[in-house]
Amino acid sequence: MKTPTFDTPKEHSPFSMSDAIKHECGIAMIRLRKHPQYYIDKYGTNAFAAKRMYVLMQKQINRGQDGAGVANVKIDTEPGTRYISRYRSVEASAVNFIFDKINAKYKKAKKIGGKKVLEDAEWLKKNIAFTGEVWLGHLRYGTHGENSIETCHPFLKQNNWRSRNLVMAGNFNMTNNEELFSKLVQLGQHPKEKTDTVTVMEKVGHFLDEENQRIFDKYKHQFSNEQITQLIEDELDVVRILKRSCRDFDGGYAMAGMVGNGSSFVVRDPSGIRPAFYYADEEIVVVASEKPAIKSAFNIDFKEIKEIKPGHAIVINKDGSYTESQIMPAREKKSCSFERIYFSRGTDPDIYQERKNLGKALIPQILKEIDFDLKNTVFSYIPNTAETAFLGMIEGLEDYLSAKRREVFLEGKPHVGDLDDLLNFRPRVEKLVSKDVKLRTFITNDTDRDAMVANIYDTTYEVIKPGVDTLVVIDDSIVRGTTLEKSILTTLDKLNPKRIIIVSSAPQIRFPDCYGIDMSRMKDFIAFRAAIGLLRDRKIEQVLDRVYDSCVQNPMSSENFVKEVYDAFTDEEISDKIAEIVTTPEINAVVKVIFQTVDNLHKCIPKHLGDWYFTGDYPTTGGTQVVNRAFVNYMEGKTVRAY
């Protein structure tokens, strides 16, 4: 494995899409399986784990730029020695800020003991923070509530018994947080907050305490308390703790934790909604939310990186042994397809190909919409993550042209027009849209948002035939439609095209997400607003009252009543209504909107079938209850999230 330098690179901007959405979050864990001296001797660095944790977090910075945190646990320290260290930050470049502080610890060691102590793992472990064997990192996108250092993971539950200390971080949302909170109260606890992060930690912490007590009771008549403490640390059954803790959870999660004795774990929800990958060899076990981060940090092949199975946990014991153990019965796998469409880095070879396939799958719809007039059509994309789907779209056009040439030249089928033109024709490709200002419009308050959105894009002039050309511009997804309406269409219309066709590589987003993505209010979805508009146009608004009554009367139902809002309309009718909504009076061009079909989505991303935001088919009962509650909130004018 190559050793990366510990220099601090420049922070790169987050991935962008026209209607940027947020999600929780990114995790990274490293467990050294050998004595720290081993890594100093072999790799010539006393910061082997620190350097790699830095890379893991920087390579997942797309998953969270509102805050970050890193915690470290030292194994088998002497009493009186600090063995858990943690830094959290909400600075603009939080990861760099944290690792600058960690790096300062190593500089301090040199100042205290000279160069010689930098090669002495035992001295470092005893005297310098962040020199332990277990590392946990977290990157946060703040979806709701305040963005403060107190909301940053990892969270810490402290105790004077080492094996009762718990550090946790995760990428998750729980749909049944109220129920979990009530169960903690019934146990006699008094949780300080109702957030799902605190609730989850207290739940795991409760069963960690019970596991400690179970082992203590087992040995209390045979050994002294001091001896029992060591036995507890050696025998702690993390799998048992997780099985008891997770059985009431309803949500999407990849949760990571470290116990004060050095045990650690990453557990994944039974539907595999949130991502988690791992790599292990004789030296380390590493877990992250994305595969490219692991590859970059440890210079390994993608094929060596494994996915944690749904309902399973990677559990690393105090002695460094590890297992992938089943915690909960696995359900049908419904991994979040938005991870593949947008969130995760496209440097993952599978994701890269999937995004290209999404672009290619749209070709029949595009050709039909432009009446096969490629000569007067220009193709482009919304930067930056739509670029890969755009490449797939162009490949699809090239395939179409190759097939046409084959039909004419090899099969003798008739062709209208010059054969030389057919032979030499290439799709017209231009970069028409540029993100001109780095503005994070999705965390701007509603009052300021429109003014900011109008200025974030610029265009390339004098490449379009005015009044003649059709522009086909692809984006990852259309969520709210705000940026489309306020900025993109206005920008493109300045080129005076005859028509503008906006293409989404994702299907219509119709329903809230409650498993980690910040898409929680019905009124935010332009597809929902389009359906409401169609109901009113056709004077069948009574559907809304009927759905509302069903939701109110059956709050614990596992049936998604909100689907009825869309049932009367075809996908095309909703797409046309969306085009009507986003076309302001100032737009001169004819505007059309094309969305990916759900069938094509599944063909392009066959192993990640989580599609509840498109179809309303939630993998858990809690998810279905959330969508019904979200509709009730809409009808009652409430703007709170439904979970």
* 642 touches 622 (CB < 8 A): no
Q: Which fold has domain 339-636?
A: Rossmann fold (3.40.50)
pLDDT digits (tens, 9 = 90+) for 27-59: 999 999 999 999 999 999 999 999 999 999 999
Is the confidence at residue 328, as pLDDT, over 90? Answer: yes
Confidence of residue 186 (pLDDT cuts 50, 70, 90): confident
- Pick the most confident of 63-67, 364-368, 429-433: 364-368
With a cut of 80, say whether residue 440 has pLDDT above it.
Answer: no
The crossing angle, in degrees rounded to 10, of helices 48-58 and 291-298 is: 140
Portion of the chain with pLDDT greater than 90, in percent: 72
First-to-last C-alpha distance (Å) of the chain = 44
Write down the domain spans for the chain: 26-333, 339-636
Contact residues for 17 (Cβ-Cβ < 8 A; gap 6+) = 342, 382, 385, 386, 475, 476, 477
Tell me if 374 sits within 8 A of 397, measured CB to CB: yes
Average pLDDT, the chain: 89
| Three-state secondary structure call for residue 80 | coil
Cβ atoms 147, 66 nearer than 8 A:
yes
How confident is the model at residue 570, as a pLDDT? 97
pLDDT digit string, tens, across residues 560-589: 999 999 999 999 999 999 999 999 999 999
Cα-trace Rg, the chain = 27
Angle at 319 between CA 313 and CA 322, to 5 degrees: 25
Three-state SS letters, 333-381? CCCEHHHHHHHCCCCCHHHHHHHHHHHHHCHHHHHHHCCCCCCCEEEEE
Q: Among 469, 454, 456, 485, which Cα is nearest to 384's? A: 456
Q: What is the pLDDT of residue 22?
A: 52
Strand pairing partners for 433? 459
Say what the pLDDT of residue 305 is: 98
Kindly report, residue by residue over 111-169, the tens digit of the pLDDT.
888 888 899 999 999 999 999 999 999 998 765 555 778 889 999 999 999 999 999 99
Tokens of 499: 């028509």
pTM attached to this predicted model? 0.89
pLDDT of residue 2: 40
* CB-facing half-sphere around the CA of 67: CA atoms within 13 A: 20
pLDDT of residue 21: 54
Pairwise CA distance, residues 2 & 628, whole Å: 51
What order of strands is seen across the sheet that includes strand 134-140?
84-89, 67-73, 134-140, 26-32, 284-288, 277-280, 306-307
- Per the CB < 8 A criterion, the answer to whether 17 and 386 are in contact is yes
> How far is 599 from 611, CA to CA, in rounded Å?
11
Across the strands, what pairs with 324? Answer: 314
Question: Could you read off the pLDDT of 227-258 as tens digits, one per residue?
Answer: 999 999 999 999 999 999 999 999 999 999 99
- 188 CB-contact burial (10 Å; exposed 0-12 / middle 13-18 / buried 19+): exposed
pLDDT score for 29:
98
More confident residue, 486 or 497: 497
Q: Look at residue 359 and tell me whether its pLDDT is greater than 80.
A: yes
**Which pLDDT band holds residue 410 (cuts at 50, 70, 90)?**
confident
Between 231-235, 304-308, 375-379, 441-445, the lowest mean confidence (pLDDT) is in: 441-445
Per-residue burial over 46-56, b = 16 or more CB atoms within 10 Å of its CB, e = otherwise: bbbbbbbbbbb
pLDDT at 449 over 70: no
- Residue whose pair of structure tokens reads 């402290």 in the numeric block: 158
The structure tokens listed for 617 are 């088919």
Q: What is the pLDDT of residues 511-566, one digit of tens each?
A: 999 887 778 889 999 999 999 999 999 999 999 999 999 999 999 999 999 999 99
Instruction: Measure the CA–CA gap between 152 and 107, rounded to whole angstroms.
Output: 26
pLDDT for 188-223, tens place per residue?
777 777 777 888 989 999 999 999 999 999 999 999
What is the predicted pLDDT for the residue at 20?
55
Q: What pLDDT was estimated at residue 142?
A: 63
**Range of weakest confidence among 163-167, 276-280, 404-408, 580-584:** 404-408
CATH 3.90.420.10 fits domain 26-333: no
Handedness of CA 606, 611, 614, 619 (dihedral sign): positive
Residues 6+ apart with CB under 8 A from 95: 11, 54, 57, 58, 61, 68, 139
The pLDDT value recorded for residue 389 is 97
For residues 364-375, give the mean pLDDT.
96
Residue pair 70/97 in contact by the 8 Å Cβ criterion: no
